[in-house]
Amino acid sequence: MSIDRQSTAPTLDEVAQAAGVSRSTASRAINGGDRVSPEAQAAVDAAVARLGYTPNRAARSLVTRRTGSVALVIPEPDGRVLADPFLAGTLRGVGHALDATDLQLVLLIARPGEHAGRIARYLKGGHVDGAIIASHHQGDELENAILAAHLPAVFIGRPAVEAESLVYVDVDNVAAARRATQRLVDAGRTRIATIAGPLDMSVGHDRLEGWRAALVHAGLDVKASADGDFTLTGGAIAMQRLLDDHPDLDAVFAASDLMAQGALRVLQSAGRTVPGDVSVIGFDDLGVAAATTPPLTTLRNPVEQMARTATNVLLDELEGRGRATRPILYPAELVERASV
């Protein structure tokens, strides 16, 4: 019984026969390998077009050593990834940048209570062609995993490990926090507290440094600081601690809008008016700030733009268009609302 050739997909052997080359030459020509003459490449390309051949992705990976996928690494539990507007914006930005490519996005997040070594091992295992890393903490081992694997990667946020080969995209967090704190100084506030981000993250250190630098420049006290975790609950706990320790405070710079929202709720419960008794400034402007009572003055964090930029930097390296060697820093715009 004859086989209807129109009903079956063409094979690599058929492409090789149509092009007049060996099977191995056809495979290298299709999958981007070396040692293929221009004449053989042209013959194979013509045969592929004529037969309608679709390359086998698994075979291509054996030749090119490419997986056709990149990882977005967020070493946070899934509940945090879904609830945090910064992380949601990061995912949207990366996804939009990959829309025009054939690359598959692999999302790597932490399991509850796990050590991040699992993610580090995955990255070192050659499962992806490159990685974009956000919301990383000291102790995650991700920087060292990237360096050990020589894996193309871009961080969203300054890495904890300093190395020339670790490229990152970020907001100038020190300058932004200093600007927010100076806005409170200019409003006549003199007892300015901060709810800092996690101090096992570079962003936590940088925003704390900016707050401290502005107060030192103004000759004001820098003792009113409480650590938070970038969550609403963490902001509320830190705000209550600040009120207990510094009941005369008259302003708060919170290192995220979610923490500022938690602070507003505690201040309201304590009978403190905003901005009458206490001025509050947050950081992010990703939807939360406009919905608080009162609407929150904040710093706009261009997270989707940063995520797209980080992805494009990675794509440039993967496609051989060049490799970034310096960090890319964005300014954070101060958005005035009603909390100062």
Q: List, by residue range, all CATH 1.10.260.40 domains of the chain.
A: 5-64
Q: Evaluate whether the domain defined by 5-64 bears CATH number 3.40.50.11710.
A: no
CA–CA distance, 30 with 63 (Å, rounded to integer)? 10
Residue 58 confidence (pLDDT) above 70: no
212: pLDDT confidence band, cut at 50, 70 and 90?
Answer: very high
Sort 77 into a burial class: Cβ within 10 Å, 0-12 / 13-18 / 19+. middle
Q: List, by residue range, all CATH 3.40.50.2300 domains of the chain.
A: 69-171+304-330, 173-301
Name which CATH class applies to 173-301: alpha beta
Give residue 168's pLDDT: 97
Residues in the chain: 340
Residue 62 confidence (pLDDT) above 50: no
Could you write out the DSSP letters of every residue in 212-255? HHHHHHHT-----EEE--SSHHHHHHHHHHHHHH-TT--EEEES
What is the per-residue burial (b if ≥16 Cβ within 10 Å, else e) of 322-340?
eebeeeeebebebbebebb
Task: Give tens-digit pLDDT for 26-43.
Answer: 887 876 656 788 888 889
Task: Give tens-digit pLDDT for 129-151.
Answer: 999 999 998 888 889 889 888 89
Task: Give tens-digit pLDDT for 235-273.
Answer: 999 999 999 999 999 999 999 999 999 999 999 999 999
Backbone phi, psi, residue 312, to 5°: -65, -35
For strands 130-134 and 153-156, give the pairing. Answer: parallel
Name which CATH class applies to 69-171+304-330: alpha beta
| β-pair partners for 251 | 192, 279
Residue pair 299/271 in contact by the 8 Å Cβ criterion: no
Task: Give tens-digit pLDDT for 173-194.
Answer: 999 999 999 999 999 999 999 9
CA–CA distance, 296 with 281 (Å, rounded to integer)? 7
* Cβ neighbours for 288, distance < 8 A, ≥ 6 positions apart: 85, 257, 258, 260, 261, 282, 296
CA–CA distance, 288 with 266 (Å, rounded to integer)? 16
Sort 319 into a burial class: Cβ within 10 Å, 0-12 / 13-18 / 19+. exposed
